[in-house]
Amino acid sequence: MKKITMATLAICMATLMGCSSNDDEEPDELILPVIVNQFDTKILWQESVGDGVGHYFSKLSPTVYKDTVYVADRSGKVTALSLETGDQLWQKDVRANIAFWPWEDSDNAKLSGGLLQAFGKIYVGSEHGEIIALDRETGEIVWRKDVPGEALSSPAAGDGLIFANLGSGQLVALHPDTGELRWKYEQEVPALTLRGMSAPVVANGGVLVGEETGKLTVLISESGFSAWKADIAVPKGSSEFERLVDVDVKPIVSGSIVYTLAYNGNLAAVDIRSGNVIFKREYSGYREITTDGLNIYLVDSSGGIFALDKNSGIERWSQPALVGWHLTGPTVIGNNLVLGDNEGNLHWIDKTNGELVSREEFDSSGFFVEAVAAGNKLIITTRDGEVSVIEAP
User: In order of start, what are the domains of the chain with their CATH numbers?
Assistant: 29-56+321-393 (2.40.10.480), 58-98+106-187 (2.40.128.630)
Give, for 12, the enclosing helix (H) or strand (E): helix 6-16
For residue 26, give every residue at least 6 positions away whose Cβ sits within 8 Å of its Cβ, in sequence order, or none.
none
Q: What does pLDDT average to over the chain?
A: 92
The residue among 6 and 369 whose pLDDT is bigger is 369
pLDDT higher than 80, residue 344: yes
User: Residue 328 in 3-state DSSP?
Assistant: coil
For the chain, what percent of residues have pLDDT higher than 90? 85
Kindly report the CA angle at 384 between 379 and 388, in degrees rounded to 5? Answer: 20
Please give the pLDDT value at position 17: 41
DSSP state of 37: -
Please give the pLDDT value at position 44: 98
Amino acid found at 7: A
Please give the pLDDT value at position 97: 73
pLDDT higher than 90, residue 4: no
pLDDT tens-digit readout, 191-201 = 889 999 999 99
Q: How far is CA 384 from the centre of its chain?
A: 17
Longest dimension (CA), the chain: 61
Please give the pLDDT value at position 301: 96
Mean pLDDT of 234-262: 94
Handedness of CA 197, 202, 204, 206 (dihedral sign): positive
Q: If you write DSSP's letter for every residue of 266-323 in order, what string do you get?
A: -EEEEETTT--EEEEE-----S--EE-SSEEEEE-TTS-EEEEETTT--EEEEE-TTT
pLDDT tens-digit readout, 312-338 = 999 999 999 999 999 999 999 999 999
Taking the alpha carbons at both ends of the chain, their separation in whole angstroms is 48
Question: Which of the residue ranges 45-54, 104-113, 232-241 would you say has the lowest mean pLDDT?
Answer: 104-113
How far apart CA 193 and CA 4 sit, in angstroms, is 10
Q: Which of 30, 73, 132 is nearest to 385 (CA)?
A: 73
Mean pLDDT of 205-234: 97
User: Residue 132 in 3-state DSSP?
Assistant: strand
Residue 106's pLDDT band (cuts 50, 70, 90): low
